[in-house]
Amino acid sequence: MGAEQQPSSLLPGLPDDIALDCLLRVPYSSHSGLRCVCRQWRDLLTSPFFYQQRRNSGAAESLVCLIQALVAEEEGDGAGEHAVGGPGDGGGAVDKAQAKNSRCGAGPVYGLSLYNATLREWRRLPSKGYAVPLFAQCAAVQASGKLVLLGGWDPVTFDSVRDVWVVDLVTGRRRRGAPMPAARSFFACAAVGPLVYVAGGHDNQKNALRSAEAYDPEADEWRSLPPMADERDECQGVAHGGCFWVISGYGTDSQGRFDRAAECYDPSTGLWSKEEGLWGEDDEPGGPAPPRSSCFVLPPPLAADRDRRQEGKLCHLDCHGERRGIREYDPKERKWKAVDGVPECLKSSPCAAPVAGSGELLVMGSDEEQRHGAWVMEAATRRWTRVETPTGFTGFAFSAASVLV
Amino acid sequence: MSSGDSGPSSSKQLVQQPAAAGRSPNQPPLLGAGGRKVIVLKSGDEEEFEVDLLDAMQSRTLRRAIEDGCGDGPMPLPNLTGPVLAKVVELFRRHRGDPRWADELQETEKEGMFKDYAPQKPTAEVKGFDREFVSVDRDALFDLLRAANFLEAPGLLDVTCDAAADAVMNMTVEEVREYFGLVNDYTPEEEAALRKQHEWAFQ
């Protein structure tokens, strides 16, 4: 209405402050479309400034990325048809076709799923030209909004791969990253600061590995780290206290007998240290990683002052036997303490990830009917709720990472 | 002062409390001026609106003006039209007690007239009103956004910015350009590349 059209204004007719305030509130899933509108919008919606502002203004959304087995939609179940692919649907159709293949015995197919914990929506990255390796791992670098997918098995040959994919949630681009120096699967993986660390796992000859490396997603470069003291296949990695922790695992000669120690890499000293007895204080240790159980670091409940850095707690979630529940590690007494239960119907295959910026814990797992789904525990109240999980997202989840965008 | 009077709303009680109980000298003149509870806002096209003082305080701009003693006569708001101001005044009335601004008032007015003022979570009714409030065409929405900007009213800003964001969310790229009068300044190649990237986004 009589608005002067200034070429430089974000929304012609509105002050830029207000225009920015409007755009900050548009849900993340619409951003890739908005980038197509004009250059100014693209520049804004690919800028770290914009995503910083979203976090500052409380408009940021908590996303959980999951490396997940694809599941075909129920056939003949007309009523329950979910539009997994959403409008447009190109990628979703491909995923469905691939998932159906997998039912015909062509082996499982994995995809990258995204659970938006803020809006309670499920989405999937279309798999055009890109098959997620089986048992690939993911880690998220919060500062740059980058999600890194690493390693796993080639879906056809089942060889361990060196593949790296970087999904930039700020720019919406994805690219292949510099491959891992060594092929690796079932390794420990976690983001500590700006780097993504990997350690252990096994190579193509099923040799358990001691080696460790760090990936810098900004420089697209790998840095070698000193090796760990012991081989650790099927170990689990967490970021804790500014260090990279590699929990348990086993050597080539002790297949499946999980080690009781954890090793910890301190980026400030460049050295590994070993914590004996962290894992497995009883007779039946089992593994720390999915599908057996899941280790994670639960941040303290959201403080009013977000900048105050409080240390999170190293936790372990298990669905089996005496260990069923969530336990917290007490580093002073060097003991695990049972702190919480798990939902009644969560029976196996847990994969847990704290939801960035929300004070919640998300757990994927399967119920008694082998149907996988998600549960969320609010850290402050310790209350569980089941998350409605559309059929297309009810596959086994192997790795999860969360980022606030 | 208000003894025995269990008035209907705490806001009235507070406003009716006269300045008797030793107001501090930095107390805004109007608030102490003997139980006054409404001010008059005048639009650019000379329409006048009586507004509860507490409701007007939802606007930082109005609050500053009131505190500067400009609230005695009709307060001119030349860049707001009558219809826009009518809508805004209605929203302020419906948002009475809304924590989006009441928290802020309590913060600055701990000892003053808002000390007993209890913020309430927006009710379903208020939310319904908000939805209705922004069910307007683009030009009207922009008028309200500009009013929110001028008045620095957080509640109004929230409702209108959310509406603009919701509008964008459900549009195609072409619709967004048309709605906001934005020019496609991409080369065809650039646009094709971005569209492709868009197809690859999480769906």
In this prediction, residue A277 has a pLDDT band, given cuts at 50, 70 and 90, of confident
What confidence score (pLDDT) does residue B11 get? 37
DSSP state of A396: P
Considering the domain boundaries, does residue A218 fall inside one? no
Of A217 and A285, the structure prediction assigns the larger pLDDT to A217
> Looking at chain B, which residue has its C-alpha nearest residue A111?
B202
Residue, of A87 and A211, whose pLDDT is higher: A211
Alpha carbon distances (Å) from A39 to A43, A336, B162: 6, 54, 23
Q: Determine the distance in angstroms separating the CA of A282 from the nearest CA of chain B, rounded to an integer.
A: 43
pLDDT of amino acid A230? 96
Residue A27 lies in a domain: yes
User: Can you give the C-alpha Rg of chain B in angstroms?
Assistant: 21
Contact A18 B169 (CB under 8 A): no
Average pLDDT taken over every residue of chain A: 86
pLDDT at A3: 46
List all residues 6 or more positions away from B193 whose beta carbon is below 8 Å from its beta carbon: none
Cβ contact B181:B113 at 8 Å: no
Residue A284 confidence (pLDDT) above 70? no
User: Cβ A14–B149 below 8 Å, yes or no?
Assistant: yes
Least confident among A247-251, A345-349, B19-23, B156-160: B19-23
Vertex B31 angle, CA B26 and B37, to 5°: 175
Asked if residue A55 belongs to a domain, the reply is yes
Q: Tell me which of A43 and B9 has the higher pLDDT.
A: A43
Cβ-based contacts of A35 with chain B (< 8 Å): 194, 197-198
Interface check A302 vs B, CB under 8 A: no
Residue A324 has pLDDT above 80, yes or no: yes
Is A232 a member of any domain? no
- What does the pLDDT read at residue B197? 87
User: Could you give all domains of chain B from N- to C-terminal order, each with its CATH number?
Assistant: 10-196 (3.30.710.10)
Count the helix, strand and coil residues of chain A and give each as a percent rounded to the nearest 5: 15, 35, 50
pLDDT at residue A78 greater than cutoff 50: no
Q: Which residues numbered 33-52 in A keep a CB inside 8 Å of some CB on B?
A: 33-39, 41-42
What is the dihedral angle through the alpha carbons of B143, B148, B151, B155, rounded to the nearest 10 degrees? 150
- Res A355 pLDDT > 70: yes
Task: Give B95 to chain A, closest Cα distance, Å.
Answer: 20
Return the pLDDT at A311.
Answer: 77
Query: What's the pLDDT at A96?
Result: 43
pLDDT band at A380 (very low <50, low <70, confident <90, very high): confident
Given this model, what pLDDT does residue A20 score? 96
pLDDT reported for residue A9: 86
**What's residue A404's pLDDT?**
96
**Least Cα separation, residue A269 to chain B (angstroms):** 39
Residues 6+ apart with CB under 8 A from B186: A36, A38, A39, B194
Residue B163: closest C-alpha in chain A:
A22
Determine the pLDDT at residue A316. Answer: 93
Contact A126 B200 (CB under 8 A): yes
At A300, the pLDDT band (50, 70, 90 cuts) reads confident
- Is the pLDDT confidence value at A77 over 70? no
Question: How many interface pairs between A and B have CB atoms less than 8 angstroms apart?
Answer: 115
Q: How far is CA B198 from CA A37, A100, B172, in A?
A: 11, 26, 12
CB contact under 8 A, A12 and B157: no
State mean pLDDT over A359-381: 92
| A25 domain residue, yes or no | yes
Per residue in A304-322, pLDDT tens?
A: 445 555 678 999 999 988 8
The boundaries of the domain holding residue A51 are 14-59
Three-state DSSP class for A350? strand
pLDDT in tens, A164-208: 999 999 998 989 999 999 999 999 999 999 999 999 999 999 899
Domain count, chain A: 1
Q: How confident is the model at residue A256 (pLDDT cuts 50, 70, 90)?
A: confident
pLDDT-above-70 percentage for chain A: 85
Cβ neighbours of A47 (radius 10 Å): 13
Alpha helix ranges (H) inside B2-133: 10-16, 29-32, 53-56, 60-67, 82-94, 99-108, 124-133
Among A6-20, A234-248, A285-299, B118-132, name the most confident range. Answer: A234-248
Amino acid B120: pLDDT:
62
Residue A55 has pLDDT above 60, yes or no: yes
* Regions of chain B with pLDDT less than 50: 1-34, 110-111
Per-residue pLDDT tens digits for A98-139? 444 444 455 788 999 999 999 999 999 887 767 899 999 999
User: Can you say whether the dihedral through the CA atoms of A71, A75, A80, A81 is positive or negative?
Assistant: positive
pLDDT band at A27 (very low <50, low <70, confident <90, very high): very high
- The two tokens of residue A57 are 């203004």
Smallest Cα distance from A156 to chain B, Å: 23
Give how far A12 is from chain B: nearest CA, Å: 7
**Is the Cβ pair A15, B139 closer than 8 Å?**
no
Residue A18 located in a structural domain: yes
> Residues 161..180 of A with a Cβ closer than 8 Å to B: which?
172-174
Q: Check if the beta carbon of residue A10 is closer than 8 Å to that of residue A16.
A: yes
Q: Which amino acid is at A327?
A: R
